[in-house]
Structure 1
Amino acid sequence: MKPAPFALLADLASDPVNGWSIGSFGAIGEFVRDADEPVTIARKVDAITVVTARGAMRIKPLVPLQAIAWDSLAADGESWGHALAFCVARPATPNRVIISLGPDRKAIRKEDRGAAMFDLGVAAGAVHMCLRTRDAALIAALDAAQGNALLDTPGIMAEVLRAQPHRVMLSPAGRIEVFQPIPPADGKSPEGPHTHLLPKLIAKDRTHSSNTPLPDGLQSALTAHPRSPWRTMLGERYPFDPSIDAVFQPLLATYGLPEDMAVHAAITGAVAKGQTPTWPETRRGRTKARIVLRRLAATGVDVQSLRALHDRAPLEIEEGEEP
């Protein structure tokens, strides 16, 4: 693991092809923007803010961040994803109850400063999912619910849906603010910045999915989601684009996990020599090996027999988790 220079974060944040998220397992906020969307970017020596009409992000690390790059297996049997997490040591999760944080003096936009903010008590470790509002009825309801768990408080979610507050994700790396509406329980998240709150997952008090290969004791304070070589930001498939995949390779080489690098070298080396590679013993090792085979296949290398043998198992996901 290597420390992440601020210039890397700022450069990535300046490019609209990269999406971002702050969150823990089941409670997450995402910030994305379109290339042609009006935006205000303010970059300083140690901070950058990106503001659109739909949401905003401020990156201003309070502590050193450790960067970890990885790729992930997709459920379609052919493709993969990738991400770059900026990590901190995971602290113990505070009491998972609603807490008033007072006026939000650090809101990114001036017009939002001073609105009441509440920690919902649903995130894990160093991350906090908050609501910010000037709606008097919602403020009264949240004040009355302080000290209680969000999902155990009758009527509170209906009040939240009525008032449509901003959602604010906080972490030691900065904040993401979502201005767009919250969809109903059976609705679809809007395109662009949005949040997810999944009760079955937040109950686990975990920082990330078991498919996210972060070392024990670390959690992501901010994750970059660079452009995919297989999909648009909306998840729509297109033919594999090797030029996009190549852009992520320097990040993998610099910030990748040692096990991933060893597996990649072993699989590609064996294939190049016409040998049968030794299949990894760990779950992450096997996942990485399958990704290596898919990447080789996408670039025209004949690994069909190896994929038929090793790349057939369905993607392992947990109940309530999206594939």
Structure 2
Amino acid sequence: MLDLTKVAHEALSQEDTGWNMGSFGAIAEFHHVAGDPSPAPVDGLTQVTARGGVRIDNLEGVTPVAYETLSPKPHRWTQAVSLCLPEHAAAMNQREVLTELGSDTGTIRSENCEDILFDMGLKQFQVDFCIRTGDPNLLKVLRDNAGKSLFETGNPAMPAILAAHPHRVALTRIGRIEVYQMIGGPDTGGKSPEGPHTHVLPKLLRAGRTHSANTPIPEGLTPCGALHPENPVIGRLGEDKPFNRAAFDAFQGLLNAWAPEEYLTGKQGAWRLLEQVVAASDVQEPDSRVGRAGWRNGIRQWRILHGNSALLDDWAVAFDRETGLSDPENPGH
């Protein structure tokens, strides 16, 4: 059986592994940028650079859920391990208005511990999505508008935040991610900066979901964060890259230990039938949503592993079509 703490510790030393914490609509991401100095060594489950940091404070009671999701691009897939808690244990404060929390005594870097933390009041179930600043001008605007919704018509706090680019801090029951870079928007050319960044997407916030419907989280669990080991076909900037068999095999180990059984059955079933050269017309895809995702990713991965064939083309036409089982790979970028 895999040890989650050991897996997390090793992942934090891997520059190609990304992390996130947040909800469906408010998320903080940590990624190492190629060419940057290696993350500074820090005691415990922590990784920090000049651009941001991630710290895992508590894995007690965490259930890891490994999964692969379908990409809109038919030659790709995404992958992650969600770190989940029972619903009652994952709940955060769910504040609805801008709220001053005081000095950030739990900060990853000691130089930020005197800066003031504000909950943005996004009312997300498993994350207190915050900003942190020592800027006196921004502090005045924030304090003048504390107790109000950031989305209230005419509230000057949100424009002030977007102009000042304070640190963003995502707080969960398992730890935190801090982002020191600018907020993606007009000052960054309309896209998120490379490396650590955040997304606050009002349209998704209004859905009131803890995670995408395409993420196979078992009922009763809530994802508080996730690690994203190196993808074997997608580079750090979302570009196609030559297939990395070592990265593929490494994630299959996590998948076999921690994936939903329906997914594994779907993918392995497709592989078995393809190996037996069974025609697409003679097989039936799984009944469940999760099983069908495994089946379709199995087709994609078989092509990567074994090359093109007329048989595989027939399977792709029959089964690997767009059915609402995929999400944008980089929402908000």
**Equivalents in 2 of 1:16, 1:114: separation in Å?**
29
Say how many residue pairs are matched: 318
**Aligned counterpart for 1:307 among listed residues 294, 313, 316:** 316
Change (3 A) 1:109 1:150: same
**Aligned counterpart for 2:57 among listed residues 41, 56, 60:** 60
Q: CA deviation at 1:229?
A: 1.1
Q: Is the 8 A contact 2:267 2:291 kept in 1?
A: no
Question: Residue 133 of structure 1 aligns with which residue?
Answer: 133
The letter for the 1-side match of 2:160 is: E
Change (3 A) 1:130 1:203: same
Q: CA deviation at 1:211?
A: 1.4
**Equivalents in 2 of 1:138, 1:4: separation in Å?**
44
Aligned-partner SS, 1:182: coil
**Aligned pairs for 1:63-212 within 5 A:** 63-91=60-88, 94-122=94-122, 124-152=124-152, 154-184=155-185, 187-212=190-215
Percent sequence identity over aligned pairs: 34
Change (3 A) 1:288 1:62: closer
Q: CA deviation at 1:317?
A: 6.0
Q: Is the 8 A contact 2:127 2:224 kept in 1?
A: yes
Q: Is the 8 A contact 1:31 1:178 kept in 2?
A: yes
Change (3 A) 1:4 1:86: farther
Q: Is the 8 A contact 1:85 1:223 kept in 2?
A: yes
**Equivalents in 2 of 1:113, 1:53: separation in Å?**
16
| Structure 1 position 31 matched with structure 2 position 30 | yes
State the Cα deviation string for residues 105-157 of structure 1 (Å, max 9, x = none).
Answer: 11111110021101112252221210000122322222233332221252222
Q: CA deviation at 1:62?
A: 6.2
Q: Is the 8 A contact 1:75 1:315 kept in 2?
A: no
Q: CA deviation at 1:36?
A: 4.2
**Equivalents in 2 of 1:21, 1:115: separation in Å?**
23
Q: Is the 8 A contact 2:71 2:326 kept in 1?
A: no
| Structure 1 position 248 matched with structure 2 position 247 | no
Divergent runs of 4+, >6 A = none
The letter for the 1-side match of 2:232 is: P
| Structure 1 position 292 matched with structure 2 position 298 | yes
Q: Is the 8 A contact 1:106 1:113 kept in 2?
A: yes
Q: Unpaired segments of 5 or more residues in structure 1?
A: none
State the Cα deviation string for residues 288-319 of structure 1 (Å, max 9, x = none).
Answer: 21001111111126422111111122555689
Q: Unpaired segments of 5 or more residues in structure 2?
A: none
Alignment root-mean-square deviation, CA: 2.3
Q: CA deviation at 1:213?
A: 1.2
If the length of structure 1 is used for normalisation, what is the TM-score? 0.91
Moved more, 236-245 or 246-255: 236-245
Aligned-partner SS, 2:306: coil
